[in-house]
Amino acid sequence: MEAYDGYFENGNFHPAGQSIHIPGRRRAIITILDEPGHNDTTAERLAAIDEFFSAIDSSNEDAPDFERLQITKE
């Protein structure tokens, strides 16, 4: 017996981070959990943003002082 983690979307099963092949006809049991699935792309993007801000926080360089602009509405 094997177990796969993933999510259903529009009637299709999407395994989390793995490729699966089920040969022939197999009996299967599916459990639908009371929690939403997550999007791996979103998790990767959030991890990249966290890494970016960590790099900024650990940087010893001072941010450049940009000239401020006065934008007014006429």
Mind listing the pLDDT tens digit for each residue in 25-64? 888 888 888 877 666 677 788 889 999 988 888 887 777 7
Please say whether the dihedral angle defined by the alpha carbons of residues 10, 13, 16 and 17, taken in this order, is positive or negative: negative
Report field, pTM of the whole predicted structure over 0.75:
no
**Residue 22: is its pLDDT beyond 70?**
yes
32: three-class secondary structure by DSSP: coil
- How far is Cα 64 from Cα 55, in angstroms, rounded to an integer? 16
Question: In this predicted structure, what is the pLDDT of residue 38?
Answer: 65
pLDDT at 39: 64
Q: Which of these, 23, 21, 1, 2, lies nearest to 13 by C-alpha position?
A: 21
Domain boundaries, the chain: 6-54
